[in-house]
Structure 1
Amino acid sequence: MNEESHETMQSEHLDRPDTAGDGGATSWPGAGGAPRRPGAESSNGSARRSDDGLTDGLSDGLTNGGELGPTGRPEPHFPEPPPLTSHGPARVIAMCNQKGGVGKTTTAINLGAALAELGRKVLVIDFDPQGALSVGLGVNAQELDLTIYNLLIERGHEIHEVIVPTRTPNLDVVPANIDLSAAEVQLVGEVAREQILARALRPALDEYDVILIDCQPSLGLLTVNALTASHGVIIPLECEFFAMRGVALLIDTIDKITDRLNPRLQVDGILATMYDSRTLHSREVVRSVVDHFGDQVFHTVISRTVKFPDATLAAEPITTYSSDHSGAGAYRQLARELIARGGAA
């Protein structure tokens, strides 16, 4: 069983929607300063966040009656986005955190499925040698002749050869298996080694609205490739004290990628995961993250529930495995919030 699934299998099942609780904020451990604010416009021309971290669409008038959400802020109403009249070019988003077991794969699968429900064409890239995303979408990458590894390392392959449709309409996957672990060493001697994934994705950009890259839990060459290929980064952050410690290092890495390799890269948001509203610790962690990063923290919070590993074992997103569950509702809200913020079409 992969590390992320094993960790979530330990979780408790919460059926009630989470609400913000009391609890003082803790100090931010090891933070090296606030992250860079996103620019006003993305590279594909879609509306981006303004200086306060929100688009004009998230005005004060769109709050849910002034009620405070789990992040301690008034929670805006995220409307159903209008249908698209055409598809592409894709906005590429990396799910990145060097800590394992924080919800990267779970978020890539379920956010992708929720965006697909909204009529977006979504491609998810399994960029972790553990191959958890592939398994979670019902693809046995061990039996495939071609995976993302072949696309990166071997000449003569094109991305359409490795794209596999899933059982979820509008959702496709590029699978990975343990072979990918060798790619990091093999790419070291390549020219422009940080841009190999970006070149591999280029032929598919006009066919999808969103491409989500599930990164491995490290800041190595594969993750650098993912960040170089991306327009934005979503940082899943477990609501646990030690999970916060590495975020400053990740933000520093993102800034270096922005300065040296990919000027368009920006942080789309920090997503609190594995939240338990019954514990003071979870509430304090969320409060601390919001105090430090402000509106870069998504209003949507993903709670702990055994439904996520159950859905993984069933090899389907929670949006179809347990459509009425609060976890499915949370990822649908995240999809609407991401679109409202300008992070997706």
Structure 2
Amino acid sequence: MGKIIAIANQKGGVGKTTTAVNLAASLGVLEKKVLLIDADPQANATSGLGIDVETVENGTYQLLEHTVPALELVIKTDSPNLDIIPAHIDLVAIEIELVDKDQREYMMREAVVPLKEVYDYIIIDCAPSLGLLTLNALTASDSVLIPIQCEYFALEGLGKLLNTVKSIQKIHNDQLDIEGLLLTMYDSRLRLSNQVVEEVNKHFKALTFKTIIQRNVRLSEAPSYGESIINYDAASKGSENYLSLANELIQKNASN
């Protein structure tokens, strides 16, 4: 039985999509069967895996509308053991269209939960907001992984996100767990980076992944080639970091 993990933070630019794509690719390389769902209208996870967003006819929009069965929306990627349900800019309209529907927070859960029989891990890349799309992703998920960049204001907004998680646990999904906080964009030369790591560990040590994602030029370049860091440069620091994270995640879930 697979596990659904949402990657969420309402702050933009914290490494959500980078983490979704590269964690999914790393889990695939480690021989897990993985599905990545792009639930962000910007569709960066889709283009980041080499899919031309303009050619996407069916994807997350149809998944939420229940107009096409989930398995028919799946596209194979060039990355081993990794499939994707892509996004398109039309996903922007979904929040307005879902507003009047009954059970609107449960549309993704209904569509995706049956896929847990098919995949070991289902990773959902959320939009940088706490709107209806992200709410759907969190209601459908078993856990949420929260990337936090090692920069000023890093912890700002974390309290709000944790409160959102609490209210979703209370109202929509009492099984929702926090998979962990992931420190991203770490630069060991910067005092600020080290202060953020200290601060996060001081307040949330039990929740924080041991793996820290370091700033890495190759990691920034990979999406422009439509490749995960594993495909783009397997020997890079970024690749090493995400494989370490994938291993940590697998071990953590094996012992649960």
Match for 1:325 among 236, 242, 254? 236
Residues in 2 aligned to 1:343 and 1:253: alpha-carbon distance in whole angstroms = 27
Instruction: Check whether the contact 1:99–1:243 (CA below 8 A) recurs between aligned residues.
Output: no
Residues in 1 aligned to 2:91 and 2:154: alpha-carbon distance in whole angstroms = 26
Gap runs ≥5 in structure 2: none
Residues in 1 aligned to 2:40 and 2:208: alpha-carbon distance in whole angstroms = 25
Amino acid at match of 2:27: L
- The answer to whether residue 52 in structure 2 is matched with residue 140 in structure 1 is yes
CA shift digits 1:272-303 (9 cap, x unpaired): 00000001000001100010001211110001
CA shift digits 1:242-291 (9 cap, x unpaired): 12100000000000000111011010100000000001000001100010
Corresponding residue for residue 233 of structure 1: 144
Corresponding residue for residue 43 of structure 2: 131
How far does residue 240 in structure 1 lie from its aligned partner after superposition? 1.1
Please identify runs of 4+ aligned residues in structure 1 that moved more than 3 A.
none
CA shift digits 1:74-95 (9 cap, x unpaired): xxxxxxxxxxxxxxx2100000
Residues in 2 aligned to 1:306 and 1:194: alpha-carbon distance in whole angstroms = 38
Match for 1:222 among 133, 155, 167? 133
Corresponding residue for residue 303 of structure 1: 214
Residues in 2 aligned to 1:304 and 1:315: alpha-carbon distance in whole angstroms = 19
SS of the equivalent of 1:245 reads coil
Instruction: Check whether the contact 2:11–2:129 (CA below 8 A) recurs between aligned residues.
Output: yes
Corresponding residue for residue 120 of structure 1: 32
CA shift digits 1:129-150 (9 cap, x unpaired): 0000000001112212211112
Change (3 A) 1:321 1:272: same
- The answer to whether residue 146 in structure 2 is matched with residue 202 in structure 1 is no
Corresponding residue for residue 190 of structure 2: 279
Match for 2:2 among 87, 90, 100? 90
CA shift digits 1:80-129 (9 cap, x unpaired): xxxxxxxxx21000000000010010001111111111110000000000
Corresponding residue for residue 46 of structure 1: none
Residues in 2 aligned to 1:344 and 1:269: alpha-carbon distance in whole angstroms = 15
Greater helix proportion: 2
Instruction: Check whether the contact 2:74–2:83 (CA below 8 A) recurs between aligned residues.
Output: yes
Residues in 2 aligned to 1:154 and 1:92: alpha-carbon distance in whole angstroms = 19
Change (3 A) 1:343 1:143: farther
Amino acid at match of 1:240: E
Residues in 1 aligned to 2:57 and 2:226: alpha-carbon distance in whole angstroms = 21
The percentage of aligned residue pairs carrying the same residue is 45
Instruction: Check whether the contact 1:165–1:172 (CA below 8 A) recurs between aligned residues.
Output: yes
SS of the equivalent of 1:342 reads helix
Give the TM-score taking structure 1 as reference length. Answer: 0.72
How large is the Cα RMSD of the aligned pairs?
Answer: 1.3
Residues in 2 aligned to 1:201 and 1:281: alpha-carbon distance in whole angstroms = 40
SS of the equivalent of 2:100 reads coil
Residues in 2 aligned to 1:253 and 1:202: alpha-carbon distance in whole angstroms = 22
Instruction: Check whether the contact 1:232–1:343 (CA below 8 A) recurs between aligned residues.
Output: no
SS of the equivalent of 2:32 reads coil
Residues in 2 aligned to 1:341 and 1:181: alpha-carbon distance in whole angstroms = 35
Instruction: Check whether the contact 2:154–2:196 (CA below 8 A) recurs between aligned residues.
Output: no
Residues in 1 aligned to 2:59 and 2:7: alpha-carbon distance in whole angstroms = 19
Instruction: Check whether the contact 1:210–1:344 (CA below 8 A) recurs between aligned residues.
Output: no
How far does residue 308 in structure 1 lie from its aligned partner after superposition? 1.5
SS of the equivalent of 2:154 reads helix
Amino acid at match of 2:6: A
Instruction: Check whether the contact 2:5–2:123 (CA below 8 A) recurs between aligned residues.
Output: yes
Amino acid at match of 1:158: P
Amino acid at match of 2:60: I
Instruction: Check whether the contact 1:91–1:344 (CA below 8 A) recurs between aligned residues.
Output: no
Greater shift, 137-146 or 217-226, is seen at: 137-146
SS of the equivalent of 1:236 reads strand
SS of the equivalent of 1:219 reads coil
Gap runs ≥5 in structure 1: 1-88
Amino acid at match of 2:163: D
Instruction: Check whether the contact 1:95–1:104 (CA below 8 A) recurs between aligned residues.
Output: yes
